[in-house]
Structure 1
Amino acid sequence: MREPGFWHRPPSVVSRLLLPLAALYGNIAAARMHQPGAAVSVPVLCVGNYHMGGAGKTPTTLALVALLRALGERPVVLSRGYGGRLRGPVVVDPSRHAAADVGDEPLMMAGSVPVVVARERSDGAVVAASQGASVILMDDGFQNSALIKDAALIVIDSHRGVGNGSVFPAGPLRAPLALQIARTDALVVVGDGSAADGIAAQIAAQGGTVLRARLVPQAASVEALRGRRVLAFAGIGDPARFVATLRASGVEVVEQRAFADHHPFTAEELAELAAAARRGGLTLVTTEKDLARIGRAAASLGVEIVTLAVTLAFDDEAALRLFLLDRLNRARAERLAARR
Structure 2
Amino acid sequence: MIRPPHFWSLQRLSVPALLLAPVAGLYGWVAGRRMRQKPKATAAVPVICVGNYVVGGAGKTPTALALARIARAQGLNPGFLTRGYGGTTREPLVVDPDQHDAARVGDEALLLAEAGPVVISPDRPAALPLLASQGVDLIIMDDGFQNPSLRKDLSLIVVDGAAGVGNGRVFPAGPLRAPLRTQIIRTDAVIVVGDGKPGDRMVRRVSRAGKVVLKARLEPAAIRVWGPRSFLAFAGIGRPEKFFNTLDAAGVPLTDVKGFPDHHAYTAEDARKLIARAEADKLDLITTSKDYVRLARKDGDLAALRARTKVFEVRMHFENEARVATLIADVVRRVATR
| TM-score where L is the length of structure 2 | 0.95
What is the SS of the residue equivalent to 1:313?
strand
What is the SS of the residue equivalent to 1:327?
helix
> 2-side partners of 1:11 and 1:133: how far apart?
47
> 2-side partners of 1:96 and 1:248: how far apart?
36
> 1-side partners of 2:131 and 2:72: how far apart?
16
Q: CA RMSD in A?
A: 1.4
User: Which residue number in structure 2 is paired with residue 258 of structure 1?
Assistant: 259
Question: How many Å apart are 1:316 and its aligned residue?
Answer: 0.7
Alignment of 1:1-340 (within 5 A): 1=1, 2-9=3-10, 10-37=12-39, 38-219=41-222, 222-223=224-225, 225-297=226-298, 298-301=302-305, 304-334=308-338
What is the SS of the residue equivalent to 1:213?
strand
Question: How many Å apart are 1:326 and its aligned residue?
Answer: 1.4
| TM-score where L is the length of structure 1 | 0.95
Give identity over the alignment, percent.
49
> 1-side partners of 2:82 and 2:96: how far apart?
14
Question: How many Å apart are 1:302 and its aligned residue?
Answer: 8.5
What is the SS of the residue equivalent to 1:152?
strand
Q: How has the CA–CA distance of structure 1 residues 302 and 83 changed in structure 2, closer, same or farther, with 3 Å as cutoff?
A: closer
User: Which letter does structure 1 place at the counterpart of 2:72?
Assistant: R
Deviations 1:213-272 (A, max 9, x none): 01011225x44x333300011010111110000000111111111111101111101110
User: Does the Cα contact within 8 Å between 1:217 and 1:310 map onto a contact in 2?
Assistant: yes
Aligned residues: 332
Which ranges of 4 or more aligned residues in structure 1 deviate by more than 6 Å?
Answer: none
> 2-side partners of 1:244 and 1:188: how far apart?
20
User: Which letter does structure 2 place at the counterpart of 1:268?
Assistant: E
Deviations 1:290-313 (A, max 9, x none): 111122334334861011000011
User: Which letter does structure 2 place at the counterpart of 1:271?
Assistant: R
Provide structure 1 residue ranges, at least 5 long, that are not aligned to the other structure.
335-340
Provide structure 2 residue ranges, at least 5 long, that are not aligned to the other structure.
none
Deviations 1:174-212 (A, max 9, x none): 000111011110110001223222322333333321110
What is the SS of the residue equivalent to 2:187?
coil
What is the SS of the residue equivalent to 1:16?
helix
Q: How has the CA–CA distance of structure 1 residues 327 and 207 changed in structure 2, closer, same or farther, with 3 Å as cutoff?
A: farther
Question: How many Å apart are 1:75 and its aligned residue?
Answer: 0.5
